[in-house]
Chains A and B, each alone.
Chain A
Amino acid sequence: MVDLALKTLFHDRLRFAITLAGVAFAVMLVLVQVGLFLGLLHNASLTIDKIDADIWITSKNTPNVDVGQRFPEGRAQRVRSVPGVARADNMIVAFMSMTLPSGAQDNILVYALEDFRRWGIPWSVAEGDVEDLKRGRFLFLDETAERRFGAFASGEHREVAGYRLELIGRSRDARSFTTTPIAFMDYRLAQELQPAVLRGNAHYILVKLAPGADLEAVQSEIQRRLPYNDVHKREEWAARSRRYWITNTGLGLNLYLTVFLGGLVGIVVVAQTLYASTMEHLKEFGTVKAIGGSNRDIYRILLRQAGVAALVGFVIGAIPAFAIQALAAGAGLQVVIPASIVAIVFAGTIVMCAAAAVISFHKVATIDPALVFRG
């Protein structure tokens, strides 16, 4: 079978290149923007995903993990007595100010627990032993803080909330949505640093179930015993934390707009070039009809051209997107492009190009067949 669609496409190389550029630009724009957004969202629930807790207890209507509201720490006792609970510990997540060697002050996001190892946090330790945190006024700081605070090393001291603490270790890849550097310290130390608000209070209770315990049953029993708290399964809480940033900050709208604009750019460029190409080849399509071809034969040619433009344009657009992902990682910026997003963007590219081709259908359907006789 002679492939008129492909041969015509490759015959007019400049036009094909313009079409590909439009598709590739749209693909790259959408992949990078979605990747950046997913990278941010990934950070929004990173600690929830990593901490080895089945259930998170928060104060009522806490919107996300970074902005916990305090409640009396004694409530953990009530949770520990619930059947099916293996352990339950209080946790503090609080912003505190750190004085840098330059004299400037900046915020850190402190995660404070009595036993870090038990909850698998920090999940990646670059230097030091988290067990040592409970032995004094010590601090672990995540490596990502270097970008904001400058280089630091174990043995150095930093002033946190007016108290001099020693850096005894570094974690790796602990990030917050707000990019505020994450630090780890002992639970009692955190209360000591901000006694007015934290003494006798916690922000969260982490719950680990006993083997074989029914998650739903334990969750509802805790909720019954703590009516003034919210009790979330880990995945629910992670989703809620992510959703907050999507719906409450305009970032979601930003993403949708970017994807829409990327798609629109793609459709406009592809539609424009395909339509111009159709107009240019109108007499050829008339000839296809004259030799017995139907509108459907011509639609098939247009769709095939659009499909090839989508496929090649997608590959050309995806390559720089992954290159940007690698470059961004080097700059400490996360661009997350999972296979599912690649598949969705590919399907979207096919639909976009098919939609662009359909715009030409009407013109083809209304070709005056006698056109073939005109000089």
Chain B
Amino acid sequence: MVVLEGRDVRKSFREGRETVEVLRGVSLAVESGEVVALEGPSGSGKTTLLSILGCILTASSGVVTVAGEAVDPRRPSRLPDIRKRSIGFVFQQYNLFPALTARENVEFALNIKGVRGPEARAQAERLLDAVGLADRKGFFPADLSGGQKQRVAIARALTGQPAAILADEPTANLDTQIGAQILDLFRSLAKRENRGLLIVTHDPKVRAICDRVAHIRDGLIAA
């Protein structure tokens, strides 16, 4: 089952008096339980495509479908709801809230998704257990290593059981060994929990754990 799909997606930005077309008719689909890598040089449109598939940006044209729901670009106010229900993000810089502990970071995401109280706390603890941070729940991000932060970010991305998880260079700030552990964790979670996983990367090691690799260049998916 396709959980994330973009068909003939185009995106243009105004830069001064010029219009720059960043995506020029990209089509890409991710199925549940599938791990897909999206590779490409800087400026190729990877992050823009990730933003559009993640419902952070809207496409100038084309069709985007998330968990079976077509994204209507004329109603950007609906995007937060789709993100809340169906998408989890993992960022290169982790983007954890420094004032919250590991558990609270995950619990806050659950709160945003409508889970409150003891249930949110219990779910947050279960998710942290699942990513191997049972003994770091009360630690603040500043007291965690890069790998541990990324595990917290993965736990946060899993909140609300999203159909798709989008990861932007998730191993870029990690050393080789920790990066490998994180990739293993990603793959096993995607497979075990049947999530579609799209990873934007420059890292050749990521390719090894993916079911499929898509290359983007100059705003087009290479054949």
A residues sitting closer than 8 Å to B (CB atoms) are: 1-2, 4, 7-8, 10-12, 283-284, 286-294, 297, 369-370, 372-375
Which A residues touch B160, using CB under 8 A? Answer: 292
Judged by DSSP, the binding face of A is helix
- Does B32 count as interface, using CB distance less than 8 angstroms? no
Q: How many angstroms between the C-alpha atoms of A284 and B91 in the bound complex?
A: 12
Q: How many angstroms between the C-alpha atoms of A372 and B108 in the bound complex?
A: 17
Q: A8-B99, A290-B56, A372-B91 are in contact. Are A2 and B107 (CB under 8 A)?
A: yes
Which B residues touch A293, using CB under 8 A? Answer: 80, 84, 112
Whether B56 contacts A372 by the Cβ 8 Å rule is yes
- Sample of 17 A–B contacts (CB below 8 Å): A1-B111, A2-B107, A4-B100, A10-B99, A286-B95, A287-B91, A289-B56, A289-B83, A291-B156, A292-B81, A293-B80, A369-B57, A370-B48, A370-B57, A373-B92, A374-B93, A375-B93
- Does B109 count as interface, using CB distance less than 8 angstroms? yes
Residue of A nearest to B200 (CB): A373
- Does B30 count as interface, using CB distance less than 8 angstroms? no
What's the tally of chain B residues with a CB closer than 8 Å to chain A? 36
Q: How many angstroms between the C-alpha atoms of A289 and B89 in the bound complex?
A: 11
Q: A291-B156, A292-B80, A292-B84 are in contact. Are A373 and B97 (CB under 8 A)?
A: no
Whether A370 contacts B47 by the Cβ 8 Å rule is yes
Q: How many angstroms between the C-alpha atoms of A290 and B87 in the bound complex?
A: 9
Whether B56 contacts A370 by the Cβ 8 Å rule is yes
- Does B123 count as interface, using CB distance less than 8 angstroms? no
Q: How many angstroms between the C-alpha atoms of A287 and B48 in the bound complex?
A: 16
A-B contact count (CB 8 A): 87
Residue of B nearest to A283 (CB): B95
Q: How many angstroms between the C-alpha atoms of A373 and B93 in the bound complex?
A: 8
CB distance from A309 to the nearest CB of B (A): 16
Which A residues touch B109, using CB under 8 A? Answer: 291-292
CB distance from B158 to the nearest CB of A (A): 11
- For window 36-66 of B, CB contacts with A under 8 Å fall at 47-48, 50-51, 54, 56-57
- For window 111-170 of B, CB contacts with A under 8 Å fall at 111-113, 116-117, 120, 156, 159-160, 168
Please pick, from B51, B84, B99, B113, the residue contacting A7 in the complex, using a CB distance under 8 A: B99
CB distance from A368 to the nearest CB of B (A): 9
Which A residues touch B34, using CB under 8 A? Answer: none
Q: How many angstroms between the C-alpha atoms of A64 and B49 in the bound complex?
A: 77
Q: How many angstroms between the C-alpha atoms of A7 and B113 in the bound complex?
A: 19
Whether A2 contacts B104 by the Cβ 8 Å rule is yes
- Does B68 count as interface, using CB distance less than 8 angstroms? no
CB distance from B29 to the nearest CB of A (A): 21
Q: A291-B112, A293-B112, A373-B91 are in contact. Are A4 and B51 (CB under 8 A)?
A: no
Whether A2 contacts B56 by the Cβ 8 Å rule is no
Residue of A nearest to B98 (CB): A11
Please pick, from A1, A8, A291, the residue contacting B89 in the complex, using a CB distance under 8 A: A291
Most-contacted residue by chain A among B51, B88, B107 (CB, 10 A)? B51
Which A residues touch B92, using CB under 8 A? Answer: 373, 375
Q: A4-B99, A372-B56 are in contact. Are A290 and B47 (CB under 8 A)?
A: no
Q: How many angstroms between the C-alpha atoms of A294 and B83 in the bound complex?
A: 10
Whether A288 contacts B112 by the Cβ 8 Å rule is yes
CB distance from A290 to the nearest CB of B (A): 5
Which A residues touch B81, using CB under 8 A? Answer: 292
Please pick, from A284, A286, A292, A297, the residue contacting B83 in the complex, using a CB distance under 8 A: A292
Whether A369 contacts B108 by the Cβ 8 Å rule is no
Whether B80 contacts A373 by the Cβ 8 Å rule is no
Whether B111 contacts A372 by the Cβ 8 Å rule is no
Whether A370 contacts B51 by the Cβ 8 Å rule is yes
5 additional contacts (CB under 8 A) given A289-B56, A292-B84, A292-B113: A7-B104, A291-B83, A291-B112, A291-B159, A294-B80
CB distance from A293 to the nearest CB of B (A): 5
Please pick, from A291, A369, A373, the residue contacting B84 in the complex, using a CB distance under 8 A: A291
Please pick, from B47, B88, B117, the residue contacting A373 in the complex, using a CB distance under 8 A: B47
Which B residues touch A286, using CB under 8 A? Answer: 95
Q: How many angstroms between the C-alpha atoms of A284 and B108 in the bound complex?
A: 12
Please pick, from A10, A283, A373, the residue contacting B51 in the complex, using a CB distance under 8 A: A373
